[in-house]
Amino acid sequence: MSDKMISALLSVNWLGNVEGFATHAAVVEKLDGSCKRIAVWAKQLENVDGKNPAISFVRALQISAQQAVATASLGIYKAAASSIRGLVENALYYTYFRSHLVELSSLVRNKAYYTSKSEILAFHKVHTAKFRERQETIGLVSRIEDWYSDISSIVHGQIPGIWVNQSSLGDIKTDGATLSLVANEFCRGEQIVHELLLLTVGSELWDGFSHPSKKMLLANLPGHLKNVLGLDKQ
């Protein structure tokens, strides 16, 4: 039986799938831009907050991004959805647990301990300076709720057949239309992560970021929004 499974895996042209992925230049460029911004956030947070145990969520966030792109490039789109959801989940966890180290210890020790997305957002509304009014300017919380519902419906298979283009293991191959959908959800999630970090830990740790990183993270952000966020324009 295992021989049949290995035979099916070997029958897939994995390299051909990656090469097919590479031909979708616009999609690759979008994903690359999002991954670069995640990498900048990860590096700056590592530099400034690297001794905080919660930094592990930032590392997990970056790994989620890398694995989402890797699985998408292989044509395994449904599996990419879980990694894409991990982008936002790990960002939320980091913004909360970095200042809740006792709860972080409970999370590690006790499998029953759980902090929900809603609880984290409620915490920020009450305890993170200016988060409530700033997020209202860009509708961040409502977009998090909408996006999370959309990506979770894919992860849990609520819409049968979505992001699945094969009926057997050996049929896995690149599909441009599905790849475009995957890239859109990835970039929506990364934009949410970007704005969440700007409104929370970014505001607190901003002075410790390098000038080139600040410039990159604020690129294409409207001037009035920079003012709302209270960040410099350089």
pLDDT in tens, 146-163: 999 999 999 998 777 889
> CB of 35 within 8 A of CB of 65?
yes
Dihedral over Cα of 53, 54, 57, 59: its sign: negative
Of 35, 43, 48, 196, residue with least CA distance to 131: 196
The backbone torsions φ and ψ at residue 2, rounded to the nearest 5 degrees and listed phi first, read -65, -30
Mean pLDDT within 208-215:
94
Residues in the chain: 234
Residue 91, helix vs strand vs coil = helix
Cα-Cα-Cα-Cα dihedral of 192, 194, 195, 199, to 10°? Answer: 130
Q: Is the pLDDT of residue 214 over 90?
A: yes
HSE at residue 144, side-chain half, CA atoms within 13 A, is 23
pLDDT in tens, 102-115: 888 888 888 877 88
pLDDT in tens, 174-184: 999 999 999 99
The pLDDT confidence band at residue 232, using thresholds 50, 70 and 90, is low
The residue ranking higher by pLDDT, 212 or 169, is 212
Q: Is the pLDDT of residue 234 over 50?
A: no
Report how far residue 75's alpha carbon sits from residue 73's, in angstroms, rounded to the nearest whole number. 5
Q: Is the pLDDT of residue 233 over 90?
A: no
Q: What is the structure's pLDDT at 196?
A: 96
The residue ranges of every structural domain in the chain are: 2-229
Q: Is the pLDDT of residue 167 over 70?
A: yes
Q: What is the structure's pLDDT at 203?
A: 83
Percent share of the chain, pLDDT over 90: 74
Of 9, 149, 183, residue with least CA distance to 80: 183
Q: Where are the alpha helices (DSSP H) in the chain?
A: 2-11, 14-22, 25-49, 55-74, 77-97, 101-109, 117-127, 131-138, 140-155, 176-197, 203-205, 211-217, 223-229
> CB of 216 within 8 A of CB of 202?
no
Mean pLDDT within 204-233:
84
> CB of 157 within 8 A of CB of 4?
no
